[in-house]
Amino acid sequence: MSSTTPLLDVSGLTKHFPIKGGFPIRRTVGHVQAVDGLDFQVNESESLGLVGESGCGKSTTGRLITRLLEPTAGKISYQGKDITHASRKDLAPVRSEIQMIFQDPYASLNPRHTVGKIIAGPMEINDINPAGGREKRVRELLEIVGLNPEHYNRFPHEFSGGQRQRIGVARALALDPKLIVADEPVSALLQKVQQELGIAFLFIAHDLAVVRHFSQRVAVMYLGKIVEIADRDDLYGNPRHPYTRALLSAVPEATVDETPPRERIRLQGDVPSPINPPSGCRFRTRCWKATEKCATEAPPLVQVEGNKPGHLTACHYPETAEVASAPRLAKDPEPAA
Amino acid sequence: MTPPTPSTAAPLEVTDDSAEKSITSPANSGNESKSPGQLAWRRFKRDRTGVISACVVIFFFVVALCAPLIANLYGKDPYTTYGLNTPGLLGDNGFPVKPNGGIDGEFWFGIEPRLGRDLFTFLLYGIRNSLLICTAITLLVVIVGVTIGVTAGYVGGKTDWFIGRVIDVLLAFPSQLFFVAFTPVVLALFVSPEENTPVWLTVVCLIGLLTVFGWASIARLLRGQVLALREREFVEAAKVTGASPVRIIFKELLPNLWTPILIQATLTLPNMVTVEAGLAFLGVGIQDPTPDWGVMIGQAAQVYQDDITFLLFPGLSMVIFVLAFNLLGDSVRDALDPKTKR
């Protein structure tokens, strides 16, 4: 990792949503621990993939970084500047540099605005007047994302889902951001954007296969915590956390040659409720190696023995490289199924 | 017919360039793009009931606006007591001599029993006054309702709770009884009982009271709409780019709220016409010498056994107007919101 200040520095980031209940006086009866103490950095022009199952808090993380949600605890620094609790006015200069691409291309475009208005909106809000006028810039952006500039006056309902997502990308690019948080984007277009424009990405996905083509580094989340973070090749070649291994084994194989098929690791049961997560290591209820220690002691996210620098794993009993190459763990509970 | 907003349940599509090219072939690109408003207008134009109702409603408004002009061409006014001034129009019993309430080439809708005023101009000015008052009330109700409803929905929290309880109380209130009981009280605050109440004061008082009790339902409706829209991702997208709450409300939310606002407005106005007429009939709204739909019906109801045509004209015209306006409201809703169509 570089010694200079990272573009985005997140430490101990936590978001607990209160659950209100009770009668007649409503009070907080519990918390959904959506995100619980995240630490990671994103460097300039780097793409960090954030991977996890549904409900593990990855979308919440994206919304915390773009400050759509107020963090419960922790710290978010952008270019060394603390923006954790910055007000709307203080945030204004940073706003234009951190943009977001939303998950749902149908809900994220205002149905009553034309494409031109949607993409020009961010420039209007931040009072940016590009040379040649905003309309010219919007047409350029439409071309960059592979849409016809003639569609300037069209409405979102006239486009397909994929095209709408491109409109969302164009809107995010309108402010020349330095960091884009992309929530489950489908488009391969982002890869081109990232390489050509040198924008840093926080790429949120539920599938390791998608992230592989796109991210230089990958963080794996489970129930609001990062369980493993590493450079891409490191993570895919030498996964140390059992959960990462389980996820990787679920990735479909592209080759149909004579190499023996990988052993599929099937995780038992569902993700536990984030309202009352398991003590100690949160993965222990579904882990085949869990011991007493896992229940009492939460494993820290550290560089475990045998890891390259920057490869951090939160596990008491990390997988070893030898085991990884010749898997003999986690017997499939129902091989016939 | 494609709905303006495709179902949100539609699946995420994987971008496929070849498929996209076929959708956006150069043949259908260009300027044939339709906004959701234009689509609604196209749907409305195809709805025959809606178009006819709209014509009827427009006819009434034109008549109301041009009442002085029409009265001028016709050569009479609603205040002169023609029957008393010209002998031979009213009989000894005070009723018009001619049949059907004295309808003839000179008095198209007949003359009023006893005082002998011209009923055609009286109805014209009655419609004019009623519609002016009710349009003012509707505008105020919509403005107040939208402002309060959107604020409650967007701000949320304690403000929302407080406004919600106020709305509950207002909706639970027997407003008609309240008008009957309190209009004299409110008027007495401004004028001593011995003096004559000026007409403008009655009008202002009426508009004020009906507005106070009218905004609650539209506010509640809009609050719900805003709550639903507020969580949509396009609002978050605007926030991410640094939009102020004012901009989000006016530029992002309001364009999506015109549909319920328009529908509510077209349903509020005919309702107000009947309420206002009802109050005038009961004697707490506009009073006699001022022409008004309700006043006229009230007068006619006293003599309907002897002179049914007096009641027929204001009664029938009001039924036609209210019916047409309600049908128009339905058509507007169908055009703007095709998914709610029965």
Cβ contact A160–B8 (<8 Å): no
Assess A60–B contact: CB distance below 8 Å, yes or no: no
Phi-psi region of A238 (alpha: psi -120 to 50; beta: other; left: phi over 0): beta
Assess A108–B contact: CB distance below 8 Å, yes or no: yes
- Please list every residue in chain A whose beta carbon sits closer than 8 Å to the beta carbon of residue B255: 110, 112-113
Closest residue in chain B to residue A184, using alpha carbons only: B12
Instruction: With H, G, I as helix, E, B as strand and everything else as coil, classify residue B237.
Output: helix
Assess A83–B contact: CB distance below 8 Å, yes or no: no
Interval B212-261: pLDDT, tens: 888 998 999 999 999 989 888 899 899 888 888 889 988 889 888 988 89
Predicted confidence at residue A91, as pLDDT, reads 85
Q: What superfamily would CATH give domain B46-80+118-340? A: MetI-like (1.10.3720.10)
Predicted confidence at residue B224, as pLDDT, reads 92
Predicted confidence at residue B136, as pLDDT, reads 94
pLDDT for B23 beyond 50: no
| Distance separating alpha carbons of residues A49 and A8, to the nearest angstrom | 14
pLDDT for B67 beyond 60: yes
CATH class of this structure's domain A1-20+29-97+177-252+270-325 = alpha beta
Predicted confidence at residue B165, as pLDDT, reads 93
- Check residues B59 and A302 and name the one with the higher pLDDT: B59
Question: Mean pLDDT across chain A, nearest whole number?
Answer: 83
In the block, residue with structure tokens 């003999």:
A328
Cβ contact A187–B12 (<8 Å): no
Shortest CA gap B151–chain A (Å):
19
Assess B38–A contact: CB distance below 8 Å, yes or no: no
CATH 3.40.50.300 maps onto chain A at 1-20+29-97+177-252+270-325
- Please list every residue in chain B whose beta carbon sits closer than 8 Å to the beta carbon of residue A188: 15
Instruction: Please tell me which of the candidates B6, B31, B239 has its beta carbon nearest to residue A106.
Output: B6
Interval A125-174: pLDDT, tens: 888 888 888 889 999 999 988 888 888 888 888 888 888 988 999 999 99
Cβ contact B36–A168 (<8 Å): no
Among A residues 220-239, those touching chain B with beta carbons less than 8 Å apart: none
Instruction: Please tell me which of the candidates B5, B29, B234 has its beta carbon nearest to residue A150.
Output: B29
Cβ contact A162–B14 (<8 Å): yes
Assess B241–A contact: CB distance below 8 Å, yes or no: yes
Shortest CA gap A119–chain B (Å):
11
Alpha-carbon dihedral angle through residues B256, B257, B259, B264, given to the nearest 10 degrees:
180
- Please list every residue in chain B whose beta carbon sits closer than 8 Å to the beta carbon of residue A100: 236-237, 240
Predicted confidence at residue B32, as pLDDT, reads 58
The radius of gyration computed from the CA coordinates of chain B, to the nearest angstrom, equals: 26
Written as one string, the DSSP assignment of A190-246 is HHHHHHHH--EEEEEES-HHHHHTT-SEEEEEETTEEEEEEEHHHHHHS--SHHHHH
Assess B248–A contact: CB distance below 8 Å, yes or no: no
- Please list every residue in chain A whose beta carbon sits closer than 8 Å to the beta carbon of residue B251: 121
Shortest CA gap B34–chain A (Å):
7
Assess B12–A contact: CB distance below 8 Å, yes or no: yes
In this prediction, residue B341 has a pLDDT band, given cuts at 50, 70 and 90, of low
Across the beta sheet with A98-101, the strand order is A98-101, A179-183, A200-205, A47-51, A217-222, A225-231, A312-313
Cβ contact A96–B11 (<8 Å): no
Half-sphere exposure of B227 (CA within 13 A, CB side): 12
Contact A277, A288 (CB under 8 A): no
Cβ contacts of A110 within 8 Å, gap of 6 or more: A118, A156, B234, B252, B255, B256
In this prediction, residue B56 has a pLDDT band, given cuts at 50, 70 and 90, of very high
Cβ contact A99–B240 (<8 Å): yes
Q: How many residues does chain B have?
A: 342
Assess A103–B contact: CB distance below 8 Å, yes or no: yes
Instruction: Please tell me which of the candidates A103, A157, A186 has its beta carbon nearest to residue B5.
Output: A157
Shortest CA gap A152–chain B (Å):
9
Cβ contact B241–A160 (<8 Å): no
Q: Find which of A158, A178, A184 to mutate to test the B interface (most B CBs within 10 Å of its CB).
A: A158
Closest residue in chain A to residue B15, using alpha carbons only: A162
Predicted confidence at residue A325, as pLDDT, reads 43
Other beta carbons less than 10 A from residue A161's beta carbon? 18
Cβ contact B240–A66 (<8 Å): yes
Assess A91–B contact: CB distance below 8 Å, yes or no: yes
Angstrom distances, CA of residue B68 to CA of A205, A281, B74, B78 = 70, 85, 10, 10
Instruction: With H, G, I as helix, E, B as strand and everything else as coil, classify residue A127.
Output: coil
Q: Find which of B25, B241, B336 to mutate to test the A interface (most A CBs within 10 Å of its CB).
A: B241
pLDDT for B272 beyond 80: yes
Domain ranges of chain B: 46-80+118-340
> Which residue from A36, A39, A37, A161 is spatially nearest to A102, judged by alpha carbons?
A161
In this prediction, residue A216 has a pLDDT band, given cuts at 50, 70 and 90, of confident
Interval A44-62: pLDDT, tens: 888 899 998 888 888 899 9
In this prediction, residue A192 has a pLDDT band, given cuts at 50, 70 and 90, of confident
In the block, residue with structure tokens 């891409």:
A232
Shortest CA gap B281–chain A (Å):
44
Assess B240–A contact: CB distance below 8 Å, yes or no: yes
Interval A193-202: pLDDT, tens: 777 888 888 9
pTM score, whole prediction: 0.76
Structural element, H or E, at residue B37: helix B36-46
Looking at residue B253, the DSSP 8-state letter turns out to be: I
Instruction: Please tell me which of the candidates A95, A102, A112 has its beta carbon nearest to residue B241.
Output: A95
The pair of structure tokens assigned to A255 is: 């080759």
| Distance separating alpha carbons of residues B315 and B299, to the nearest angstrom | 12
